Amino acid sequence: MTKTILITGGSRGIGRATALLCAAKGWNVAINYAQDEAAAAETLGGVEAAGARGFAMQGDVRDEAAMVALFDRTVATFGGIDGVVNNAGIVAPKSTVAEMDVERMRRVFDTNVLGAYIVAREAARRMGEGGSIVNVSSAAARLGSAFEYVDYAGSKGAVDTMTTGLAGELAAKGVRVNAVRPGLIATDIHASGGQPDRADRIGSKTPLGRAGTADEVARMIVWLLSDEASYVTAAFLDVSGGR
C-alpha cells in the first residue's frame, strides 16, 4: 500500500533521512521546513529521484494556521495521511538554567512543545485506522542535560508525556503513537546550538563509542510508521548507542 507521510522539519537531518527512506518504500512524502528553501528543494529532489511523489512546504510549527494549511495540502494532494513524523525541533546555545533568558526558553518551548502539540492535534483530527504518529523526542528527556540545555531536555520530557497521553486517546481509533529518543546524532543541530563538534566529542564517550547517523534514527522511525509495528503504541524507542 502507498502510504502518505507528513514530516515536520523534513528538509534536513533526521527528517531528511526519514523522507528519503519513506520515498525508497514508494510512499508519498509531505516535507515541511522553516526557512532553508534550498535544503527542502534538495530533499524533495531526492524523494522524486527515488520515484516517489512529494512536495515541500514552508511553515513554522509554532504557527497554527501554517500547520493547518500543511495538513490540508497533504490531504488534498494525496487523499489522506497515514503517518506523521513530529520531528521539527531546536536547541539553544549551551547554558545553565541560572543564566537562561526568558526569550530563549520561550523559543525552545514554543517550538519543541507547543509546535509538537499543534502538529499532534492536527494529526489526531485527521488520521484514522492504521495511522501512526512518531514523535521525535530525545535521550535528553531522560538525562536532563545539566550545564547544556535543561530547557530543551524539559521540552522533550513534555513530548514523551504527550506521546503516552495521545496514544491512550487514539488507540480506539486504530492510530498508534510512539516516540523515538535519539542520543548524539551527527546533524547540523549541534552547530546551530554553537557546538559543531558536540556529536563527535560526546558520542565517543557513549557505550557504542561513536555518534549515530540520521539514517540510523530514520530506520527506526520508518519501522514505527510501518505495519511491521502494528502492535506497538505508547512506546519509547531509544536510538542512543546505549547512552
Residues classed as catalytic = 152
- Burial of residue 94, with CB atoms counted within 10 A of its CB: 0-12 exposed, 13-18 middle, 19 or more buried: middle
Which range in 10-18, 71-79, 98-106, 227-235 contacts ligand NAP by CB under 6 A?
Answer: 10-18
R_g of the chain, CA atoms, integer Å: 17
Q: Return the C-alpha cell found at 184.
A: 548524539
At 234, give phi and psi (nearest 5°). Answer: 60, 30
Binding mask 208-227 for ligand NAP (x = CB under 6 A): --------------------
Binding mask 29-58 for ligand NAP (x = CB under 6 A): ---xxxxx--x-------------------
Tell me the C-alpha distance between 122 and 117, whole Å.
Answer: 9
According to CB under 6 A, which residues from 59 to 88 bind ligand NAP? Answer: 60-62, 87-88
Tell me the C-alpha distance between 159 and 165, whole Å.
Answer: 10
Size of the site for ligand NAP (CB under 6 A): 32
| 3 counts as binding ligand NAP under rule CB under 6 A | no
Q: Return the C-alpha cell found at 62.
A: 509554532
**Residue nearer to ligand NAP on the CB measure, 3 or 62:** 62
Q: Return the C-alpha cell found at 112.
A: 519543541
Residue 229 gets which letter from DSSP? Answer: G
**Residue nearer to ligand NAP on the CB measure, 92 or 185:** 185
Which range in 8-16, 19-27, 45-53, 72-80 contacts ligand NAP by CB under 6 A?
Answer: 8-16
Residue whose C-alpha cell is 550545564:
147
According to CB under 6 A, which residues from 113 to 152 bind ligand NAP? Answer: 115, 136, 138
Partners of 182 in the β-ladder: 239
Tell me the C-alpha distance between 138 and 233, whole Å.
Answer: 17
| 90 counts as binding ligand NAP under rule CB under 6 A | yes
Q: Residues in the site for ligand NAP, rule: CB under 6 A?
A: 8-9, 11-15, 32-36, 39, 60-62, 87-90, 111, 115, 136, 138, 182, 184-185, 187-189, 192, 199
